[in-house]
Homo-oligomer: A and B are copies of this chain.
Amino acid sequence: MNTRIIESAPGAYQYPLLIKQLLLSGQRYAPGGEIVSGAHRYDYRQLSQRIARLANVLTEAGIGAGDTVAVLDWDSHRYLEAYFAVPMIGAVLHHVNVRLSIDQIGYTMQHAEDKLVLVHDDFLPIVEQLVDQLPTVQGYIQLNDGEASGRATFETLGEYEVLLAAAEVSYDFPDFDENSVATTFYTTGTTGNPKGVYFSHRQLVLHTLATATTLAAFDGVPLLRSEDVYMPMTPMFHVHAWGIPYVATLLGVKQVYPGRYEPNRLVRLYREEGVTFSHGVPTVLQMILNSEEAESTDLSRWKLMTGGAAPTEALVRKMSERGIRFYTGYGMSETCPILTISHLSPAQAQLSMEEQIALRMRTGVPLPLVELRLMDDVGNPVAADDLSVGEVQVRTPWLTQGYLREPEKGAELWQGGWLHTGDVASINADGVIQIRDRMKDVIKTGGEWISSLLLESLISKHPAVANVAVVGVPDPRWDERPLAMIVPAEGAEVDADQIKAHLMQYVDSGQINKWAIPEQIRVVDSIPVTSVGKLDKKRIRAQLAGQF
């Protein structure tokens, strides 16, 4: 298109979007705002100085533009400083997922070509096993929480705080192309090696601005404003801790970094530091609610955003009983991550908490600048009836533009110019999204999609059902049909006809279509699960294969 683009006047500065600019406002609006982490407690002026010191340490360690710096740490002020200092010198921050297997950690550190490694003493045993397999690594810096440093069996440059204390307090951070990679980390599927995603300065700045606007401006999502106190409960190696440390720093809010997650300590920090906003996966929130400290603590000041997996109704009910204001977010490693957040309209906010629960559990409304569509099998948008499902496809300014050194996999992710999330969702008349399934688990029947998760959820409401899995099995006429495997509750009996009759009530209430009811319902003794206790649909399908 022949739009008008005017050449800039001589000298005109074309301002690039760089992570260093996210540091400007926090210290201006709240120079005395605190960063709290273990025994460390300092303000935003000192945060800027420490970031400059870290940049000097990195530079002296031989790190330059384009090099990759790996971090293996718990949630800490050091991680926050690395979120800024590493990209600000033009280098790439690799958040190493310390929960992967040692082989996978080794693979990701080799694949990312890490040059310097910041490693917490707790992870020295991992690095010790890998140290001979990391030819690109030229140095290690030790991190610890105030005790004497652990003894590394390999050579290190020294301890983080000691190195920072010896470094110059200022650094002239350069400007450069906003499309420079700032961060990278790895996402694991069920098969194959972890895949590296990557995000640029521009992408992180825009994710920060859109998230900041959403969390602050919409009274139905009143999660984070300047007088809040923030404590992450999502690991900082997990998709930028959902990007919130950047938002919090932009606003100058008090930030509390809790180290290794220990439920009682998290609740104590909440209480003693005046925390008002946190986020975490359902498992972490469940651990907190079950902790001893939580029993004796008023949790009603806490605003919690959950995501990463669907929260159970039991968890959500318990949060609401404790007076916690909770919301659901949705996103993935490939999306920086935030795409949607659940939202209450002013009228909905007047409903009883019982009525609000379903609304707060929904996947939510897309953020500003997020284009999101739900596409069926033949590439048409699905009806906004909350019943029809389609794949979630997105465009926003903060999506990974591929996988690190795997262009074919990137091309698959980006088929047709939209990022394919692999998630299947419905949308209601109010435009609110609900994730229903993963693409690979959805049952494709007669050109329509049936959510296996929805069927599982409805079947499990039957009192005689202890466990259930629904998978698609080949069908000559409909391509696929759902098949349900059911484990009866102890001492109970159940048969296929009872389940079909049970499901009919959801047909009557409009939650499923009649053709979603499985013809085949098998009562079994047990259902294969993965090592973390999830239904293992791959194995279930393999068991069933050959039977059709």
In the complex, A152 has a CB within 8 A of chain B: no
B12-A366 in contact (CB<8A): no
Of the candidates B15, B28, B218, B250, which one forms a contact with A366 in the assembled complex, judged by CB atoms under 8 Å apart? B28
Instruction: Tell me the bound Cα distance from A151 to B407 in angstroms.
Output: 63
Q: A395 contacts B13, CB within 8 Å?
A: yes
Check if A411 is an interface residue, CB within 8 A of chain B. Answer: yes
User: For A396, what are the chain B residues with a Cβ–Cβ distance below 8 Å?
Assistant: 15
Instruction: Give the docked Cα–Cα distance between A126 and B5 (Å).
Output: 30
- A180 interfacial by beta-carbon distance below 8 Å: yes
Q: Is the CB of A365 within 8 A of B29?
A: yes
Distance (whole angstroms) from the CB of A421 to the closest CB of chain B: 14
- The reply to whether B65 and A1 form a contact with Cβ atoms under 8 Å apart is yes
Q: How far is the CA of A174 from the CA of B409 in the complex (A)?
A: 28
A146 lies within 8 A of chain B by Cβ: no
User: Nearest chain B CB to A427's CB is how many angstroms away?
Assistant: 11
Say yes or no: is A489 at the interface (Cβ < 8 Å to chain B): no
Q: Is A171 engaged at the interface, CB distance under 8 Å to the other chain?
A: no
Contacting pair B213 A219 (CB below 8 A): no
0/1 string, A148-188, CB within 8 A of B gives 1: 00000000000000000000000000101101110000000
Q: How far is the CA of A160 from the CA of B255 in the complex (A)?
A: 53
Judge whether B13 and A181 touch: CB under 8 Å.
no
Q: Which of A411-449 contact B (CB under 8 A)?
A: 411, 413-419, 430-431
Contact between A417 and B13 (Cβ–Cβ < 8 Å)? yes
Q: Nearest chain B CB to A88's CB is how many angstroms away?
A: 11
> Which of A16-24, A137-145, A233-241, A474-482 has 4 or more CB atoms under 8 Å from chain B?
A16-24
- Contact check, A218 vs B251: say whether CB atoms are below 8 A apart: yes
* Chain B CB within 8 A of A99 CB: no
Cβ of A66 and Cβ of B3 under 8 Å apart? Answer: yes
Q: Which of A370-415 contact B (CB under 8 A)?
A: 370-371, 395-397, 399, 401-404, 407, 409-411, 413-415
Instruction: Give A7 to B400 CA distance when docked, in angstroms.
Output: 11
Task: Give the nearest-CB partner of A66 in chain B.
Answer: B4
- Please, which residues of chain B bring their CB within 8 A of the CB of A180? 3-5
Q: Tell me whether chain A's interface is mostly helix, strand or loop, or mixed.
A: loop
Query: What's the least CB distance linking A341 to chain B, in Å?
Result: 11
Task: Give the CA-CA distance A32 to B505 in the complex, in Å.
Answer: 33
A368 CB to nearest chain B CB (Å): 4
Residue numbers in B under 8 Å from A225 (CB-CB): 216-219
Query: Copies per complex?
Result: 2
Chain B residues lying within 8 Å of A4, measured Cβ to Cβ, are 65-66, 92, 180-181
- State whether A177 and B401 are in contact (beta carbons under 8 Å apart), knowing that A28-B431, A217-B251 are contacts in the complex: no
- Chain B residues with CB under 8 A of A226: 217-220
Residues of B within 8 A of A220 (CB): 29, 226
**Chain B residue at smallest Cβ distance from A22:** B368
- Give complex CA distance A200, B12 in Å: 14
Decide: B11 and A417 in contact? CB cutoff 8 A.
Answer: yes
For A5, list chain B residues within 8 Å (CB). 177, 179-181, 200
Residues of A206-239 contacting chain B, CB below 8 A: 206, 209-210, 212-213, 215-220, 224-227
B-side contacts of A300, CB under 8 Å: none
Which residues on the B side are within 8 Å of A205 (C-beta)?
Answer: 369
CB distance from A335 to the nearest CB of B (A): 12
Nearest CB in chain B: distance from A433 CB, A? 10
Smallest Cβ distance from A8 to chain B, in angstroms? 4
The residue of chain B having its C-beta at the shortest distance from the C-beta of A406 within the complex is B9
Q: Which of B9, B30, B416 contacts A401 (CB 8 A)?
A: B9
Q: A209-B213, A217-B216, A401-B6 are in contact. Are A11 and B176 (CB under 8 A)?
A: no
Give, as a whole number of angstroms, the nearest-CB distance from A367 to chain B: 7
Q: Pick from B9, B176, B401: contact of A407, CB below 8 A.
A: B9
Which of B9, B25, B224, B409 is within 8 Å of A402, CB to CB?
Answer: B9
Output the nearest chain B residue to A26 by Cβ-Cβ distance: B368
Known: A15-B397, A90-B1, A346-B227. A414 touches B25 (CB 8 A): no
Interface residue? A194 (CB, 8 A): no
Residues of B within 8 A of A31 (CB): 430-431
What are the interface flags for A472-499 relative to B under an 8 Å C-beta threshold, 1 for contact and 0 otherwise? Answer: 0000000000000000000000000000
A331 within 8 Å of B (CB atoms): no
Whole-angstrom distance between the alpha carbons of A411 and B11 in the complex? Answer: 6
Which residue among A200, A216, A402 has the maximum number of chain B CB atoms within 10 Å of its CB? Answer: A216
- For residue A189, CB closer than 8 A to chain B, the reply is no
Least Cβ–Cβ distance between A235 and chain B, in angstroms: 24
Q: How distant is A248 from chain B, measured CB to nearest CB, in Å?
A: 11
Cβ proximity bits A287-303 to B, threshold 8 Å, 1 near / 0 not: 00000000000000000
20 residue pairs from A and B, CB less than 8 Å apart? A8-B410, A9-B401, A11-B411, A11-B416, A12-B399, A13-B419, A24-B368, A25-B366, A25-B368, A29-B343, A30-B345, A31-B431, A209-B209, A209-B368, A213-B216, A213-B217, A217-B217, A217-B224, A217-B226, A218-B251
5 closest A-B pairs by CB: A9-B410, A9-B402, A3-B180, A216-B217, A11-B414
